[in-house]
Structure 1
Amino acid sequence: MKASEIVWHNEESVRFMQSLSKLSEEEWRRPLGPGKWTIAEVAGHFAPWDRFILERRLPYLIVGDPMPEGPGADELNAGSARNSRERSRDETIDEFVSVRRQLITALRDLPDGDWSRDFQIGKSRMTLGHYFAGMIEHDEHHFRQIRQALESE
């Protein structure tokens, strides 16, 4: 995946998340389905992952050091969901926008050569383009869930 496509997706994700600011409190707290997270909880779990990429992935890639272990996904997601239940819609959206814009800036600042250089996370070798393609799939999965939850009522 090209750097320009990755940056474009992230810019669109900011616009999508900002569009959720028009939701009522009831819509914002609506579960995606029986036993599923609410829209608020889904929205709230993006910023901690973006922060992880900014702090624990990109700096290591730039200097070529081995990547540190990632956080426990279940633990990080549970904590972010809990925080989202305690925060307002606007606080959650503002945090997403702020951190995602930092990520966009960092991505734009990467030298072209960094996008094609291989790196390793655990036993997986990949390029930055491949890594972010996976992150985009993750975003799009959750954005579809949110759209479907809003259309179902």
Structure 2
Amino acid sequence: MNKTYQQFESTIDEITKISDTEYTLLLEPIQEGKWSIREIIGHLYYWDKYNVEVMVPKMQENANLPPFPDHDEHNAEGIAKLEGKSLETIIDLFIKTRKRLIDSILEVKPETRFTIGKGKRQFSGESFIKIFLKHDQHHLKQIHNKLA
């Protein structure tokens, strides 16, 4: 597995470490008007779920994948669907889904190129994952700042 996929997988370790944190801290917003760490983990899970179910199965040579859903709507839907689920359940869902996403995208041939929505940029499985690796890093920085 190359460096990009290893980094993407390493988010699992970061999230696993968080589970040892004082529970109430994980339920507090990271800043006023922002999500809690619990909600951020759910948010990461919900994007992984979307990618493994919708995007990766369509990653064929010269395919045009659907555009990403409206981010605000997708994020709100993801948070709503996790209402009432325990932090442990959300972490478990995140870990299982992240592993499924990595396993499935590794099955896409490295030379396969596709576009997304109306974009003209050609993606590979790896360049697609880089988008979400940056997304992970953004949210992990928020989490680390809250727990510092």
Q: TM-score, normalised by structure 1?
A: 0.85
Per-residue Cα deviation, 1:7-57 (whole angstroms, up to 9, x for no partner): 101220111111111122211102111111111111101122112111221
Count of aligned residue pairs for this structure pair: 147
Aligned ranges for residues 77-116 of structure 1 at < 5 Å? 77-114=75-112
Aligned ranges for residues 4-153 of structure 1 at < 5 Å? 4-62=2-60, 64-114=62-112, 117-128=113-124, 129-151=126-148
Deviation at 1:118, TM superposition (A): 4.5
Say whether the 8 Å CA contact 1:47–1:95 is kept in structure 2: yes
Say whether the 8 Å CA contact 1:40–1:84 is kept in structure 2: no
- Structure 1: 5+ residue stretches without partners: none
2 CA distance for matches of 1:120 and 1:104? 19
- Structure 2: 5+ residue stretches without partners: none
Q: TM-score, normalised by structure 2?
A: 0.88
Amino acid at match of 1:70: F
Q: Which piece of structure 1 moves more, 105-114 or 141-150? A: 105-114
Q: CA RMSD in A?
A: 1.8
2 CA distance for matches of 1:120 and 1:108? 18
2 CA distance for matches of 1:35 and 1:51? 25
**What percentage of residue pairs aligned between the two structures are identical?**
24
